[in-house]
């Protein structure tokens, strides 16, 4: 499918990773549909026939399908879906409160699962149905280095491990339809959400432990997405974008 004729759909488009992805795709002349539960503000790009931003609850399958249908005519192909929606959350399984051990809050657990995993399933399943009718495409999900298990982040780790399992299952099912599904597992990226979740001292320690002695950049991320979009014999893989930290 020629890239210039197909749409790019980005979820979590208002986020620290989603917004730069949207901006760079649009700057390349791609047709972009930017989706998030909050307003997607981009000063560089006004709403047009080739750049659309929509507010939608990404966990609501019916609302997602309605937004997709209203935004992109069914005859127009979607070539790439990037599922960048997510929520980093730090909360241990047990927390000592006074002399009592309190279990992980269930509302926050469900919020983290919904934000990271349910959003990818909803978007992936509905966009895949469109891709199957218009010649296939590529789906890129966002996992994390935490998918291997990270103390203090049980909900986030579980959600990201789920992303990797979901991506592999979808790759097996959707491959015969011409749809490739892969995941990127970033390590510590130099973006606002990382700095909000991790203290500067800890980030410096992670940099020292990383063989490449640096944080990841948005350029690294865009290169990874571009590779997974265009490598037509790659599916069901998890690309570890972590500078070698997991070695």
Q: Along the chain (247 residues), what's the average pLDDT of each consecutive run of 10 residues?
A: 77 94 94 93 71 96 98 96 96 93 97 98 98 97 96 97 98 98 93 78 86 91 97 97 86
pTM score, whole prediction: 0.93
**Which residues carry out catalysis?**
156
Query: According to the model, what pLDDT value does residue 45 have?
Result: 66
Query: According to the model, what pLDDT value does residue 62 have?
Result: 98
**Distance separating the N- and C-terminal Cα atoms of the chain:** 36
Query: According to the model, what pLDDT value does residue 67 have?
Result: 97
Q: How far apart are CA 23 and CA 131, in angstroms?
A: 23
**Burial call 41-78: b when 16+ CB within 10 Å, e when fewer:** ebeebeeeeebbbbebebbeeeebbebbeebbeeeebb
Q: Which residues pair with 36 in a beta bridge?
A: 55
Query: According to the model, what pLDDT value does residue 246 have?
Result: 80
Domains along the sequence of the chain with CATH: 3-241 (3.40.50.720)
Cα dist from 68 to 61, 71, 115, 149, whole Å = 10, 5, 19, 34
């Amino acid at each position: 499918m020629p890239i210039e004729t197909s749409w790019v759909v980005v979820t979590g488009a208002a986020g620290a990773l989603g917004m730069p992805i949207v901006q760079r795709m649009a700057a390349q002349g791609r047709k972009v549909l930017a989706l998030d539960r909050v307003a997607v503000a981009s000063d560089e790009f006004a709403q047009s026939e080739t750049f659309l931003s929509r507010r939608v609850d990404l966990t609501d399958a019916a609302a997602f399908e309605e937004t997709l249908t209203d935004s992109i005519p069914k005859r127009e192909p979607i070539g790439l879906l990037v599922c960048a929606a997510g929520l980093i959350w730090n909360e241990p399984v047990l927390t000592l409160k006074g002399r009592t051990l309190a279990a992980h809050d269930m509302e926050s657990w469900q919020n983290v699962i919904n934000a990271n995993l349910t959003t990818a399933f909803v978007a992936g399943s509905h966009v895949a149905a469109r891709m199957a009718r218009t010649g296939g495409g590529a789906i890129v999900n966002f996992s994390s280095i935490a998918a291997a298990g990270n103390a203090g982040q049980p909900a986030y780790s579980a959600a990201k491990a789920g992303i990797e399992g979901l991506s592999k299952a979808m790759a097996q099912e959707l491959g015969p339809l011409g749809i490739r599904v892969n995941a990127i597992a970033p390590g510590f990226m130099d973006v606002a959400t990382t700095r909000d979740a991790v203290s500067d001292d800890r980030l410096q320690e992670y940099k020292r432990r990383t063989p490449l002695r640096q944080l990841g950049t948005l350029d690294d991320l865009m290169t990874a997405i571009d590779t997974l979009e265009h490598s037509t014999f790659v599916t069901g893989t998890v690309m570890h974008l972590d500078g070698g930290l997991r070695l």
